[in-house]
């Protein structure tokens, strides 16, 4: 597996990481712990060194799973986690759990994450969502103290806007911004990517396969259980899925020519955008995992990339990526 550096930092990660959320949260009930432990260890064997979790996934279940499963390999890995939700009520469903990035709460959250992850230092600590009630300078200052005390190595933000990123970076240099980025969510291209390039910050792309849609496995008649987060998303209504199929068809036509899969083309496209972008597709399936890893070997020429951009520019993506109440929590 090739390695990439996140921006100007010395944090090196495998070119493709693993988003662990779906193992415990958001995509139906938590998966079997033993099966997921085996999968996580298979991931390490295949060269992936970058793992993404959060205290909110469960809550806490995902960090516990990741910490236990990866303990034997800890020194060779980079594990990222997140703070920023008030989980005291035990309900962390999107839009239900409130935000809390008060400095004292950040420090409490980190102590919990350290224990669950079975580590002495968190490699990369993100603010999960920007808290409008706490100045970002105070958040960055709290993380700076945690870095100085040796409990955290690198600071990151998730779904923050360009201005917030600049303000935080001025207090404590940011190693990575984690935002949704894929062929059907290209909003970071307008302000975020130029800002990151200027400041020397890496981009960790979550949902690089459009929450499964860009794999081609989801059709207009696909139904989602109420425990599956996608059942609440405007972009996953039958009408939107039908309209957005054009994007999957585009990926499929290129995949056929390249002897690849639509998912591999979607990931290869992301990898080709900037050398400091690391996608973190999630999966609970070993075959899908191996498919994703093989995307690193797919080469898209400048002509291929221009062709994809030209064709994609003619496709209007239907449906908002989040309901309005959740969209308000992004891009501050």
Catalytic residue, chosen from 27, 57, 126, 206, is 57
Distances (CA, A) of 101 to 40, 97, 177, 235, 295: 30, 13, 17, 29, 36
The verdict on whether 60 is a catalytic residue reads: no
Helix (H, G, I), strand (E, B) or coil at 28: coil
Query: Could you tell me which residues come within 8 angstroms of residue 297 by beta carbon, excluding any fewer than 6 positions away?
Result: none
Distances (CA, A) of 76 to 50, 72, 115: 10, 10, 19
How far is 24 from 270, CA to CA, in rounded Å?
26
Sign of CA dihedral 153, 156, 162, 166: negative
Are the C-beta atoms of 139 and 110 separated by less than 8 Å?
Answer: no
Q: At what angle do helices 103-117 and 136-148 cross, to 10 degrees?
A: 40
Q: Provide φ and ψ at 152, rounded to 5°.
A: -140, 145
How far is 165 from 311, CA to CA, in rounded Å?
32
How far is 123 from 267, CA to CA, in rounded Å?
24
Buried-state track 57-81, b at ≥16 Cβ within 10 A, e below 16:
bbbbbbbbbbbebbeeeeeebbbbb
- β-strand partners of 51: 18, 79
Are the C-beta atoms of 110 and 102 separated by less than 8 Å?
Answer: no
How far is 104 from 139, CA to CA, in rounded Å?
10
How far from each other are the two terminal CA atoms of the chain, in whole angstroms? 34
Residues marked as catalytic: 57
């Amino acid at each position: 597996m090739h390695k990439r550096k996140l921006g100007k930092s010395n944090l090196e990660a495998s070119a493709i990481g693993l988003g662990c959320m779906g193992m415990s949260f958001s995509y139906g009930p938590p998966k079997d712990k033993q099966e997921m432990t085996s999968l996580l260890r298979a991931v390490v064997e295949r060269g992936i060194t970058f793992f993404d979790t959060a205290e909110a996934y469960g809550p806490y279940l995902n960090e516990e799973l990741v910490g236990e499963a990866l303990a034997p390999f800890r020194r060779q890995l980079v594990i990222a986690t997140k703070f920023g939700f008030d989980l005291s009520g035990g309900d962390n469903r999107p839009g239900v759990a409130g935000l809390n990035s008060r400095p004292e709460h950040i420090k409490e959250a980190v102590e919990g994450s350290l224990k669950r992850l079975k580590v002495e230092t968190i490699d990369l600590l993100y603010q999960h969502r920007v808290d409008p009630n706490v100045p970002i300078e105070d958040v960055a200052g709290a993380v700076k103290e945690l870095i100085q005390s040796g409990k955290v190595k690198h600071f990151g933000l998730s779904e923050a806007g360009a201005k917030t990123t600049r303000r935080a970076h001025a207090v404590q240099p940011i190693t990575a911004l984690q935002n949704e980025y894929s062929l059907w969510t290209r909003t970071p291209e307008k302000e975020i990517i130029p800002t990151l390039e200027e400041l020397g910050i890496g981009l960790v792309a979550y949902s690089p396969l459009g929450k499964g849609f860009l794999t081609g496995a989801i059709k207009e008649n696909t139904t989602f259980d109420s425990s599956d987060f996608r059942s609440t998303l405007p972009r996953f209504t039958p009408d939107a899925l039908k309209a957005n199929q054009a994007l999957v068809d585009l990926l499929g036509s290129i995949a056929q020519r390249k002897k690849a899969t639509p998912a591999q083309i979607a990931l290869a496209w992301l990898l080709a955008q900037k050398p400091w972008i690391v996608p973190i597709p999630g999966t609970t399936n070993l075959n899908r995992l191996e498919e994703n890893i093989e995307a690193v070997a797919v080469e898209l020429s400048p002509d291929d990339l221009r062709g994809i951009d030209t064709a994609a520019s003619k496709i209007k993506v239907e449906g908002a990526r989040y309901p309005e109440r959740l969209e308000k929590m992004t891009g501050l």
